[in-house]
Structure 1
């Protein structure tokens, strides 16, 4: 064996011919090129120098209520989007229930991933609310953001409450006080729920500034349905649109179908198809309340007024059902339409 030699010349040539891929450079997110609109976010980034060896990018994002760099401990985890081939990416289907969203991106070649970019936080605030079950008429069955008419709701609820009160061995005023969780104040503190023929429920969040938007899908077979806004002074017996404390559009399927705009017991028939979903837009400072076909963004009616106190999203249904969609930003089509119409006089002045 002492006279044997191993020839590594071919292997040496192969090793010398190997070209190792360097770690990709760190991208930089261009905040000025990022867009947040219509419940989507487009994130754009650049590289200091072109790199033809980059195979794809990885984008990570997470919701937050904190403006600025990520904190060490956040309530929401990073969500990962892989396989991005371009220098930008549009995220859709996001939950817009936090004020901000933080983004970071890194480049990858076929061998290794580079460092993450400096995190960037974009404002993703949208109008989010829940239904205030404490304000709801007893004939309305509330489940999350869905409402269904229940003709026997009041009687059944009273019977269940009485049965639970008398039969439960756990019940006592002192024990109930200890076990009951703290509840946020309702939109109508100190007032009873709606009653008689009001069939109304309010949201739990008031609007006192800015531009807000939400949508509601309703059963077109409902005997009656209304959506709009109301003041806190709306009486518990009041129907939406029949006092100066509420504005709404009202669908009537009783005897003859009609769609009307109502305020202060005045009504105007709307000459437009009845959509399956309605978008509601409020510009508090401008005193504008507009209703749109949520699918086509066609304007159905606008109230022009002056809000002197906060308003609350309000809903009414009789013999039917509806569901609310919140966490929505004002659609760009609605914003552009409002700008076009801002210089024109309102044709609905008689209802303001």
Structure 2
């Protein structure tokens, strides 16, 4: 018997009502077999008793007895299946905490691979096989394993929640649509699932875009701080250099003034010291003579006085000091003259600085004149223009309107952003063009490669094929490099020149009126056609209604 049982398949032991392996199999008078509970429930509440398989009707309710032969065969099959499951359990994963276990496994629970929404049972690989091989079970809906399958049943009607009521925003069963949700907008659960999933996808994309925008803004703030620091460091360095030189000059002038004054003072002191020394010597000689005269005058003996008076030294010649003076030198005007000389020196330094600045401006003007020689005649391509853009008839002006037009969404067109490219493209050499941006509060200019993304979200940076500069919020100028670079432009340009050297890998932007370089992208690698890029940006309620205008170059001698 055991050998023969090996030839049986599970299909032979399945109840056609529950589609599961027989439990207490019974036979009807027509010879078909069912689970005793299944056929009993099938007949309960009926007047006519029929066979679910052949539809034969019995006049009276048949008395059911367990089919012992089938029962034994099912028992052997269950034992064989359990042994097979046990032998393969080592190869399958045992259910771990947090994983959904197989509801059929006895003893060690294996990890469920699928859950059946019809049977409301989760199956491991072994117990899932009937749902893969049996025709009737193949129609059951399988999903990734989930716990609490009972939660997928309607608590009120004990039916599968397979529909969604849009009015009440809740999952319902088939009976709910007939009773509680009658006339409501009800759709299949999968349809609402797909719609919600699409909404979540859009929400996720929007959130990612918001994150990206904030990261770019964060990077922009960091760049602004870094640019401010660089500008401050540069100005401080220049200030230190200029004022250090100024202080050194002042120090030299001060030393020279104090030296002159001290030299005059020393000469005066030297002259006075000579006079003082001479007077002191004369006073000493006179005091000695006075002492000798005083000594002789004390003699009482006439003869002795007369004999010794001849020994009295002759009086030294007396210098007339009446007209001798020590005249203090005049210091008046010394500081004033020194300051005046310092002023002249500073004026010379200022003149040199102005000459250096003028030379720099002349060099910039010469550089601008050089690149202006590569001027090209451009016209805007309407096939690339976003739906809200208005182009002039001559293809030289473009601005953003308040209304979007219904135009063909051809591959060349930018579907979302107010961007337009020129008809002309360049794949070698040098080219230059000028665009008037006067009166605009938002704009973008530059060049783009042919293969850029023109549909959906766009990131303006070289790795995505864009070399551009932009104005935002009237005074926020940035170069859209790998990371946004804040540009210090005060005042902002009214006309911007764009120069490209294809082989050199250079894209430069100029303030035409100031003849000043705004920014350069260097070391670029161009392998495709390049198109001039124009972005007039949002109309902003009329604040940014001025057009971008492709202007002819005004050559000067």
Q: Same fold (TM over 0.5)?
A: no
| TM-score where L is the length of structure 2 | 0.29
Larger radius of gyration: 2
| TM-score where L is the length of structure 1 | 0.45
Q: Which has the higher contact order (CA 8 A, sep 6+)?
A: 1
Greater share of strand residues, 1 or 2? 1
